[in-house]
Amino acid sequence: MKIDPQLTLVEAVNMAMARALQDDPDVIVFGEDVGSNGGVFRATEGLQQRFGDERVMDTPLAETVLTGMAIGMAAQGLKPVLEIQFMGFIYSAVDQIINHAARLRNRTRGRITVPMVLRAPFGGGIHAPEHHSESTEAMFAHMPGIRVVIPSSPQRAYGLLLAAIQNPDPVIFLEPKRIYRMVKQDVPDDGAALPLDVCFQLRDGNDVTLVTWGAMVHETLQAADQLAEQRISAEVIDVATIKPLDMETILKSVAKTGRCVIVQEAARTCSVSADIAANLAEHGLMSLFAPVQRVTGYDTIMPYFRLENHYMPSTERIIAAVQKTMETS
């Protein structure tokens, strides 16, 4: 088994697509500037040169058309991996996603499935203008028939993307661009997929459960380190698959700790954190020593530049939420 030099998250995404293209002739990668240019974040760099322009294709700027093409390919037995340059550009494709990708299995009573992956960089933190900093994962999680997967590290990006490509149903694969190059890990190029539909426990703890996903895992782990200095033991859970949601792991953790803080970058109202909190109220209320706390973005468009850092949850805000929930015994 070959272990590459330490990889960033975006390099691990690239390696997963290369492995999928190598191992499965039905895999097709396409999107705007993904071929000769290697993608706006270089996630597909070198793939066209390696696998040819019939397997890694540049396309026009037409998200609705591209998503329809991916659905048609998938319905006929291919495994398309479509890149949308930024999550803010995905909305014109929502008609195709909701009305066709999500429904074909049900519409045909299982005769046709749609094994497609729609990749999109998402989230803030790179000081980009409007439409380039969206975190609207809850919108897609609300759609029946769609999986929503968000990696938070190079190793999980590699394994989860391979699992998404192998999955027989459509997957929205959201890549937190703020941490594309933040950390490096040893990532074995072994073709091994990680399980979908489960949370990953990143740290064991006894006093409070911290639930998060995507780029916010970074600040949450920092908060857990600082809380340990205050003798507060925090268990950290990376949700990873937003839909379907693995509440069993979260409930088990909260049954142990009795407290929960949920951290998300997305706006607060009607969000994934709200759904997790509702599930805890319905199924884990008797385990809670204190009300669930949420640390979120605000119900506004992501502000530009300097205000962006104020919008996004910080380590300090996470620690303050934990301290608040610890006040109730």
Active site residues: 132
Instruction: Using the Cα atoms of residue 312, residue 315, residue 320 and residue 322 in order, give the sign of their dihedral.
Output: positive
Distance CA 170, CA 115 (A): 5
In sequence order, what are the beta bridge partners of 79?
Answer: 27
